Structure 1
Amino acid sequence: MTIVILSVCLAAGFLLSILSCALYGNWWPLLVVFMFAISPVPNAVFGRFVSSDPLADVSSSVADFGRFLTSVLVVSGLGLPVVLAHSGIIANAAMVMSVVGGGLVYGTIIVYATVFRERQDF
């Protein structure tokens, strides 16, 4: 049941993002989908350098850099449509549809990663 809900949310996110481009004849908002789709990758790649001991007060600079890259991509994905709408390149409705669609895509990826994460008990 969970996978069905996640697939519906992902499809709705892609639909909103593509409609924000197709309805207004401008394909710039499609960049948001790519930003939100690749934003979990730095956390997934650099997250392996985090200590598994919750009491350890050791912070890895590599893991922090992965979190930084993820936050840059997420903020850019939210800010790019706002900047494009402010400069008049895209319509305001396309901006809203693009942000909501990108948020659905990113949220679906995050929920999928947390729900289906493998537990490693040693």
Structure 2
Amino acid sequence: MAAGLKTIILLSFVLALGFLLVILSCALFANWLPLLVALTFVFAPLPNALCTRCAGQDDFSADYNSAYVDFGNWLTSGTVVMGFALPITLAHAGVIHETAGLMSIVGGALVYGTILTYSGFFSDSGDDLF
């Protein structure tokens, strides 16, 4: 599937909408803790990207070494779960408003989904999707 200018424009719109929701969840309720959710979703694909670079053939074995990829998937899944659990926990504890927690979850999911979609459309091979 060829990605063109319309894809880039749509992805940038969705990314801007995600960041807008996260910033509004902070600004409307005068509490900037939900901004941590955006950071977790932005940094979530990094373990997969780094561990995929480390995986591959090594000097001792001609087989594919997937331990690095599995570890990267584990770290990424933990970071994504933390991105959803952090605002729920903060809202349950009364540190942030429930609406702010919901807005930050939706905004963070849009940011992470945009990163995944971008890497899927613009990767060199078809199976590099995080």
* TM-score between the two structures when normalised by the length of structure 2: 0.84
Equivalent residues in 2 for 1:25-44 (5 A)? 25-44=30-49
What does residue 99 of structure 1 align with? Answer: 105
What does residue 75 of structure 1 align with? Answer: 81
- What amino acid sits opposite 1:83 in the alignment? T
- What amino acid sits opposite 1:28 in the alignment? L
What does residue 84 of structure 1 align with? Answer: 90
Moved more, 111-120 or 61-70: 111-120
Query: Unaligned stretches of 5+ in structure 2?
Result: 1-5, 58-62
Q: How far is the alpha carbon of 1:60 from its aligned partner? A: 1.9
> Once the two structures are aligned, what percentage of the paired residues are identical?
52
Matched, 1:63 2:69: yes
The CA distance in 2 between the partners of 1:29 and 1:78, in whole Å, is 11
- Root mean square deviation, CA, Å: 1.9
- Give the alignment partner of residue 25 of structure 2, picking from 20, 28, 33: 20
Matched residue of 2:83: which SS?
helix
User: Which structure ranks higher in relative contact order (CA pairs < 8 Å, sequence separation ≥ 6)?
Assistant: 1
Write out the 4+ residue segments of structure 1 that deviate beyond 6 Å after TM superposition: none
The CA distance in 2 between the partners of 1:72 and 1:119, in whole Å, is 25
